[in-house]
Amino acid sequence: MIRIAGVTLKENKQIRFALTPIKGIGKSNVKDVLKHFKIDPTIKLGDVDPKVIIELRNYIENNFIVEADLRRQVQANIKRLVDIKSYRGSRHRNSLPVRGQRTRTNSRTRRGNVRKTAGSGRIKAAAKT
């Protein structure tokens, strides 16, 4: 069991895919890290030497903002936008799309999956006698 930045990683995956569950470490960051350590991206994470894994853990935790720190930073950025009453902050506060998407249709995830149509919620008529 290998843990980096508080995330348990699967040892049977290739190292280029095994490191991506860490929040803040994407494909391009993995590529840079593996190039820095001269590790083949297709090798399994379990096959890497434990000393190299310790160096890898230290390198990632020292050179990247990951996991809880990254989540905290993102939340602080959103709070700052709300506090200065910017347009983007008001969209965050009202749980609406922030980046210019339309809301007349779509945006179901953000606004909730509620569809109000003419026939919804109506009681069916009684059967004819």
- pTM exceeds 0.85, yes or no: no
32 inside domain: yes
Asked whether residue 123 is assigned to any structural domain, the reply reads no
With respect to residue 31, please indicate whether it lies within any of the assigned structural domains.
yes
My answer on whether 30 and 78 are in the same domain is no
49, part of any domain: yes
Domain count, the chain: 2
Q: Is 112 exposed, middle or buried (0-12, 13-18, 19+ CB in 10 A)?
A: exposed
Decide if 119 is inside a domain.
no
Same domain, 21 and 51: yes
117 within some domain: no
List, for the chain, all residue ranges whose pLDDT scores fall below the cut of 50: none
Residue 25, domain extent: 2-64
Q: Write the pLDDT tens digit of every residue in 72-97.
A: 999 999 999 999 999 999 999 999 99
In this predicted structure, what is the pLDDT of residue 118? 63
φ, ψ for residue 67, nearest 5 deg: 50, -120
Q: What is the pLDDT of residue 121?
A: 61
